[in-house]
Structure 1
Amino acid sequence: MKKKKSFYKWGKYLIVIGITLLMFLFYRSVERVPLLADDNMVFVKAVVVQNDHEDEQAQASLDSGDTQQVVLEIRSGAHKGEKVDAYSLNGYLYGANCKVGTKVIASLSEYDGMLSANVYNYDREAAIAVLLAVFFGLMWLVGGKKGFNSILALIFTFVAVIMMYIPMMYIGVSPFIAATITVVIITLVTFILIADFQMKSIGAMLGTIFGVIVSGLIALVFGHFGHVTGFNVDDIENLIYVGQNSRLDIGGMLFSGILIASLGAVMDVAMSVSTSLHEIKEQRSEITAKEIFKSGINIGRDMIGTMSNTLILAYVGGSLGLVMIIYAYSYQMHQILNMYSIAIEIMRGVAGTIGIILTVPITSLIMSVLLTREKKAVSENEQKCECK
C-alpha cells in the first residue's frame, strides 16, 4: 500500500516531465524558415565604460533623440572582455541614455575582423530575475507544497504555449485545434499537480475544458457575423510575411488566442466551484444531485461578478493606449463601435466572460453527477456485503 502511495505521489511528476520532454522534442523537430538576413549580428551583454560628453550628449539625446557615442566593454559572447566604440539612439523603444556604468544589451556585427556595435536597450535581465524570484518565493512560502506545485504548473503552462501551441500553428495545424489540445493538456496537468486526481479535480478539469471551448465558439460566431477576422489585428504585415514562409493560418489565430486568454479565469471558477461542492458533499453525505447543482449555482453567482470584472479589466488595461487616444480625439460613438480594434476587444472580453458564466452550471452539473455516482457506488457495495 505504501509503495502504491509513493508511486502515485511521484508518478504525477514523472508524467509531467515526460510530457515536457515530448513537447521539447516536438519543438526541436520544427524547422523554421529564416526571415532575417544572416548578417552575423549577435546580441551581447555590455557595460558603458566611457562617454566623454556624458552630460551634453545625454541632454541632447533627451531633447531631440540624438545619438550618443560611447565605449562599451563586452560582458558575454565570443568577444567578452573586449572594448568597442558604439552608438546609442535614446529613443522610446530602442537605445538607452548611456552613462558610465550603465548596463546595456548591444548588437554586434563583424565585417573583415572589424566590430560594429550599437546599443540595443538597457540590460533588464537581473531585474526580471529578481522579480521572478520574489514571485516564486512568495508563492512557495505562502502556498507551501501546493504553492510549489503551482509554480510547476505555471512553468508547464509557459512551456506548453511556447513549445507546442505556437509550433503547431506554425506547421499548419488549425489554430482552434491547436488551442484546444493545449488547453486540455494544460488543464489536466495543472489540476493533477495542484489537486491530484480526485473527484473535485476531475470535475474542475471537465468544467474548464467545456467553458474554454464555449468561449472560443462564441468568438467564432461573433467573428462571422461581425465580419472580424484574424487579419484585422496589429502587426498583420509581419504575420502575413510569416504566413508566406510557413503554413500558419493567420485568420484562425485571433479566435484560438481567446481560448488561451480565458483559460486562467475559467480554471479559477471551475476549481472554486468543484472544491466547494466536494466539501459540501463531505459534510452532508446524504445530499442529492439536485441540491448539489443548486449549491453550485449559488456559489458561482458571486464568482461570476468578480471574475467577469477580472477578465474585462485585464483587456481594458491592455488596450489603455487605444482608449486614451479615443478619448483625447473625441471619436464619435458610431466610429468607436465599428473600429476593428474595439470589436476585437469586445469579442475577447465578452466571449471569455460568457465562458466563465457557463462554467458555473457546467461544473455544477458535472460535480452533481460525479458525487452522487460515488455515493451510489458505495451504497451498492454495502448492499453486496450485507447479502454475503
Structure 2
Amino acid sequence: MNVVVLLAVILFVLMVLVGGRQGIRSFLSLFLNFGVLFVTIFLMTNPKNSPIILTFIACTVISCISLFYINKTNSKTITAFISTMVTIGVLLLFITFVTEKSMIQGFGEESTEEISIFSLYIGVNFVQIGASVIIMSTIGAIMDVAISIATSMHEIFYRNPSISRKKLFTAGLSIGRDILGTYTNTLFFAFFGGYLSLLIWFKDLSYSIGEIVNSKVFSAEMTTIFCAGIGIALIIPIAACINAFYLIRTREKTEKLL
C-alpha cells in the first residue's frame, strides 16, 4: 500500500474514533479545501484574474467549509466567520503594501540555476502572488483563534448571562492573550521547519549572518512569519469585539420581547 494512502487511512480512523461524525466532516474538509486551493492556483495563472480578489474569495470559501461544514451553522461559527473575514480584509491591504514596498516578491538569487531554463515573462503580478501566499499561510491559524475565542466567550455568557459588554470584551481579550504566544510560536516553528533545508544550504554555502538576513528568500520568510503574527494579534480584539456586541445585542432583543 502506498505510504500516503496508509497515512490517510490512519488519519481517517483516528479522526473518526476521536471526533465521530464531526471527525468525518473534518477529514472530508481537507479534500474540499485542497480543491479550493487547486482551483485558485489554476485561476491565478490567467493574467486577467487578480490574485488578491481570488485569494479573498478562496479564503471566504475555505472559512465556510472549515467553520460551517465542520461545526455547522450557529452563533459561534457566524461570529467566528465575520471576525475572520474582517481580519483577512485588513491583512490583504496591509500585506499587499508591505510586499510591494519590501520587494520580496519573485525569486532569489539562490533559485537562479533552477529557473534559468524557464521563461520569466509569464504575465503574473508577483507582488499580489506574494501577498496571496502569506494570506493562505495564515488563514488556518486565524480561523482557529476566531472559533476558540467565540466558543469561550459564548460559554462565559452562558454561565453569566447578566455580564456587561465591557467585561465580556475584556474576558475575550484575556482569552486571546493566553493563546497569542503559543499560536505565534507555532507559526514560527512551522515556517522554519519547512525551510530547515534552506538554512542547512546557507551553512554549506558559508553564508555569513549578514548575507542570510539580507537574502530575499530569508527576508520573504521572515515577512511571512511577522505578517502571520500580526494576523493572530489582530483577530483577537476583532473577535472579542464582534462576539461581545453580538451576545449583548441578542440579550437586549430577548429582554425587549419579554
- TM-score calculated relative to the size of structure 1: 0.61
| Separation in structure 2 between the aligned mates of residue 254 and residue 195 of structure 1, nearest angstrom | 31
Which residue of structure 2 lines up, in the alignment, with residue 209 of structure 1? Answer: 85
Deviation at residue 330 of structure 1 after TM alignment: 4.4
Q: Which amino acid counterpart does residue 236 of structure 2 have in structure 1?
A: V
Answer yes or no: is the 8 Å Cα contact 1:212–1:352 preserved in 2.
no
How far apart are the structure 1 equivalents of 2:147 and 2:116? 38
Distance across 1 between alignment mates of 2:132 and 2:117: 15
SS of equivalent residue, structure 1 residue 343: helix
After TM superposition, give the deviation of residue 338 of structure 1 in Å: 1.1
* 1:11-160 equivalence runs, <5 A: 126-160=2-36
- Structure with the largest fraction of strand: 1
Identity fraction in percent: 29
Aligned to 1:184: 60
Whole-angstrom CA distance in 2 between matches of 1:248 and 1:334: 31
**What CA distance in whole angstroms lies between the structure 1 residues aligned with 2:55 and 2:75?**
25
Find 1:270's aligned residue among 143, 146, 160.
146
> Does 1:352 find its partner at 2:228?
yes
Contact 1:243 1:249 in 2 (8 A): no
Residue of structure 1 in register with 2:188 after alignment: 312
Change (3 A) 1:257 1:239: farther
| Native 8 Å contact 1:231 1:250 kept in 2 | no
Q: Secondary structure at the match of 2:163?
A: coil
The amino acid across from 2:12 in the alignment is F
Choose 1 or 2 for highest CA Rg: 1
User: 1:324 — aligned with what?
Assistant: 200
Q: CA deviation at 1:214?
A: 3.6
Kindly report structure 1 stretches of 4+ aligned residues shifted beyond 6 Å: none
- Decide whether the 8 Å contact of 1:219 with 1:348 is kept in 2: no
Which position in structure 2 is the counterpart of 1:169?
A: 44
CA offsets 1:137-174 (integer angstroms, 9 cap, x no match): 111110112211212222211111112x1122122311
Matched residue, 1:37 = none
Q: What are the superposed Cα offsets for residues 194-251 of structure 1, whole Å, 9 maximum, x if unpaired?
A: 222211111111222233344443332322332222354858848974863xx54344
Identify the range of structure 1 (141-150 vs 228-237) with the bigger mean alpha-carbon deviation.
228-237
> In structure 2, which of residues 100, 104, 118 is the aligned counterpart of residue 228 of structure 1?
104
Which whole-Å CA distance do the structure 1 matches of 2:96 and 2:245 have between them? 30
Contact 2:80–2:146 (CA under 8 A) maintained in structure 1 = yes
- Opposite residue 88 of structure 2, the aligned amino acid is V
2:74 counterpart (195, 198, 207)? 198
- Structure 2 gap segments, 5+ residues each: none
Shifted more, 214-223 versus 189-198: the winner is 214-223
1:303 to 163, 176, 179: 179
CA distance in 2, matches of 1:181, 1:284: 37
Q: Deviations over 1:354-380 (max 9, x none)?
A: 101111111001101111111111011
Aligned length: 255
In 2: Cα distance, 1:226 partner to 1:248 partner: 18
Aligned to 1:336: 212
Q: CA, structure 1 residues 330+271, in 2 after alignment: closer, same or farther (shift >3 Å)?
A: same
Which consecutive residues of structure 1, in runs of 5 or more, have no partner in the other structure?
1-124, 383-388
